[in-house]
């Protein structure tokens, strides 16, 4: 009985220690989330407007030398830029991103995958470790971006992708990332990076809006503006995706640690009940032994 009590006490101490860690991690993630959330909230409207503008220009252009990054061609070689985290303990965050990337390959690029024409650029160590284990063509050039998350570091990845697309190493580039909604909600997305997507067709009966979308005055020339704007807007698009995933990671970790702390409380409550029952049983046994001994002496 004494051994059972000691075992329960040790388990209680262990759960209490774990709970202290989860509470500390939740507080740290909450602080990081506030910073990451401020960054993406400030960036998102700017990035979305630039992306819409670029899609609009591409939709109304007749092609030309400045439109290489918007050129559609038969898809033979595919690049996926998968943005995961460097660390775990954030619930199903990384596994959901990896599942989405694999589902995208299975649904859209199964033939290319059979030919070995799928390349994965990983931003974040978790994705790199997973795709390396599965023998994907995984590139580690940009997996450490979260060590120092700056626009300049993300820009290097965007420029490398643009250069590879221009040189026809890849025919399509997709970004797999988590769009931040709030601390408890993330939406996992696959977003076309290259070729630059055109604006979707307007529904019938909205001809006026369709006509308005080409209403631009270019100064300097359209070609010069496109050559300058395209790379900068694409850099911003990838940076937004990275900021989204960064905020999503901290939100997912904060939520996971909060749930872990609640589970620890439930476990502690159950263990304390077990401990009190075992202690009560031990006391009852001792009293029974004492009474029995006293009765034997009297007899």
DSSP-derived 3-state class of residue 124: coil
Terminal Cα distance for the chain, rounded: 29
247-250 contact pairs (CB < 8 A, 24+): 247/33, 247/36, 247/37, 247/39, 247/40, 247/180, 248/93, 248/178, 248/179, 248/180, 248/186, 249/85, 249/90, 249/93, 249/178, 250/29, 250/32, 250/33, 250/36
Catalytic residues, which ones?
90
Asked whether 33 and 255 are in contact (CB, 8 A), the reply is no
In terms of Cα–Cα distance, which of 242, 153, 125, 129 is closest to 189? 242
Residue 216 has which token pair? 């631009």
Residue 19 has which token pair? 């709970």
Is beta strand 137-139 parallel, antiparallel or unpaired with respect to 172-182? unpaired
The set of residues, in sequence order, having a beta carbon less than 8 Å from that of 91 and lying 6+ positions away, is: 252, 253, 255, 256, 259
H runs (alpha helix) in the chain: 2-59, 93-108, 110-114, 125-133, 151-166, 207-212, 222-298
Asked whether 4 and 278 are in contact (CB, 8 A), the reply is yes
Rounded CA-CA distance 216/150 in Å is: 32
């Amino acid at each position: 009985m004494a051994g059972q009590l000691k075992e329960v006490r040790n388990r209680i101490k262990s759960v209490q220690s774990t709970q202290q860690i989860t509470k500390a991690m939740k507080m740290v993630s909450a602080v990081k989330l506030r910073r990451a959330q401020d960054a993406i909230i400030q960036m998102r409207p700017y990035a979305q407007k630039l992306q819409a503008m670029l899609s609009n220009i591409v939709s109304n252009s007749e092609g030309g030398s400045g439109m290489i990054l918007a050129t559609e061609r038969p898809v033979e070689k595919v690049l996926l830029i998968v943005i995961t985290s460097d660390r775990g303990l954030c619930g199903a965050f990384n596994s959901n991103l990896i599942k989405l990337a694999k589902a995208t390959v299975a649904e859209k690029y199964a033939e290319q995958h059979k030919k070995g024409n799928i390349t994965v650029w990983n931003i974040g160590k978790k994705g790199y470790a997973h795709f390396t284990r599965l023998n994907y063509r995984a590139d580690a050039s940009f997996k450490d971006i979260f060590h120092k998350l700056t626009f300049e570091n993300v820009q290097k990845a965007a420029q490398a992708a643009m250069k590879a697309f221009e040189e026809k190493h890849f025919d399509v580039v997709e970004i797999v990332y988590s769009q931040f909604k709030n601390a408890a909600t993330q939406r996992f997305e696959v977003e076309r990076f290259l070729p630059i997507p055109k604006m979707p067709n307007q529904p019938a009966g909205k001809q006026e809006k369709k006509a308005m979308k080409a209403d631009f005055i270019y100064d300097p020339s359209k070609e010069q503006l496109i050559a300058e704007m395209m790379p900068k807007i694409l850099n911003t698009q990838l940076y937004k995706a990275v900021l989204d995933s960064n905020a999503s990671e901290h939100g997912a970790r904060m939520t996971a640690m909060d749930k872990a702390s609640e589970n620890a409380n439930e476990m502690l409550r159950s263990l304390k009940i077990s401990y009190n029952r075992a202690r009560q049983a031990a006391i009852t046994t001792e009293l029974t032994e004492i009474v029995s001994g006293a009765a034997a002496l009297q007899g």
